[in-house]
């Protein structure tokens, strides 16, 4: 092995190959089955589904390797846009004029793992709509619908108005969906809101918030649900409260407090 070699890559690759060879021996995989597997992988590449296949079967396991201090991480998924608009207070995620779904007021605090409030922390939020569709990916315009970046106040607090998202199926028309079908597995993800939090001197945190009572919590197709990330929205319909908030219909509220790990020095 010369100086240009990557020893860690070599060890990991050797372990992957050894594990696959062990499965082939134990399951007595035939040459016909092997050729079908090669054809499947070629189809995955041709369809552009390599990221989808990896996200479904492996990303959650990679995320679980992270330090367990602070808020638990979850998968980023394929629907992130890094240039979402910076919002001004009071925070409202961009929405269409007749955005479907129940109103949700999501609030919380961002602190360090030692409890110190992180004022000015960045909170990047993106989600599907009430029909399970993501802007830019599932519908082209508006590109940044239900996407935005905001900052916590001096006490690390934030509140943003959005809508309650819906569960949805991952793309299942291609080889990844065919594989899930052959394995007898569904393609649903439970409803969730994505967040990415940043603060100087702290590790960035990418995670998802899930909703209590969702029928897919225990069988998420990507296996990313963690019970510490489940929220339970509360319905509000008091007329005085609605007037104060300028709302014409009831809304739901939910709170979640995040804890960031200091950057390792």
pLDDT in tens, 28-70: 999 999 999 999 999 999 999 999 999 999 999 999 887 778 9
Nearest to 170 by CA among 207, 132, 196, 140: 132
Domains and CATH numbers, the chain: 91-260 (2.60.130.10)
DSSP string, 163-200: E----EEPP-SSHHHHHHHHTT---EE--EEEEEEE-T
Q: What is the DSSP letter of 197?
A: E
Here the tokens at position 173 are: 């028309």
Edge-to-edge strand list for the sheet holding 230-231: 147-151, 122-127, 192-198, 205-211, 230-231
The SS3 of residue 12 is helix
Report residue 2's pLDDT band, with 50, 70 and 90 as the boundaries: low
The 3-state DSSP class for residue 69 equals: coil
Q: Which residues contact 28 (CB under 8 A, 6 or more apart)?
A: none
- What is the rounded (10 degree) CA torsion for 79, 82, 84, 85? 170
**Backbone phi and psi for residue 216, each to the nearest 5 degrees, phi listed first:** -105, 10
**β-bridge mates for residue 161, sequence order:** 92, 105
Give me the count of residues in the chain: 265
In this predicted model, what pLDDT tens digit does every residue of 184-205 receive, in sequence order?
999 999 999 999 999 999 999 9
Confidence of residue 94 (pLDDT cuts 50, 70, 90): very high
| pLDDT for the residue 59 | 93
Residue 256 reports pLDDT greater than 90: yes
Q: How far, rounded to the nearest angstrom, does the alpha carbon of residue 199 sit from its chain's CA centroid?
A: 19
Phi, psi (rounded to 5 degrees) for 17: -65, -40
pTM of the model: 0.91
Largest Cα separation within the chain, whole Å, is 73
Integer Cα distance of 138 and 13 in angstroms = 35
């Amino acid at each position: 092995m010369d100086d240009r070699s990557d020893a860690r890559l070599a060890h990991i690759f050797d372990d992957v190959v050894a594990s696959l060879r062990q499965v082939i021996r134990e399951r007595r995989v035939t040459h016909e089955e092997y050729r079908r597997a090669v054809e499947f992988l070629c189809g995955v590449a041709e369809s552009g589904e390599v990221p989808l296949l990896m996200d479904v079967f492996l990303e959650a396991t990679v995320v679980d390797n992270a330090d367990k201090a602070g808020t638990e991480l979850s998968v980023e998924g394929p629907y992130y846009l890094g240039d979402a608009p910076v919002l001004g207070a009071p925070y409202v995620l961009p929405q269409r004029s007749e955005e479907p779904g129940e109103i949700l007021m999501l609030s919380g605090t961002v602190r360090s793992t030692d409890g110190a409030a992180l004022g000015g922390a960045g909170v990047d939020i993106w989600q599907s709509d009430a029909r399970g569709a993501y802007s830019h990916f599932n519908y082209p315009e508006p590109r940044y619908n239900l996407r935005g970046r905001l900052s916590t106040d001096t006490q690390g607090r934030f509140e943003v108005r959005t809508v309650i998202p819906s569960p949805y199926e991952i793309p299942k028309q291609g080889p990844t969906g065919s594989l899930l079908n052959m394995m007898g597995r569904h393609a649903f993800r439970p409803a969730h809101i994505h967040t990415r939090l940043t603060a100087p001197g702290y590790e960035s945190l990418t995670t998802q918030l899930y909703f209590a009572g969702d029928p897919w919590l225990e069988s998420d197709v990507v296996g990313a649900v963690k019970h510490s990330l489940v929220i339970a929205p509360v319905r509000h319909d008091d007329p005085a409260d609605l007037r104060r908030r300028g709302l014409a219909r009831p809304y739901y509220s939910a709170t979640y407090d995040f804890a960031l790990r200091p950057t390792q020095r």
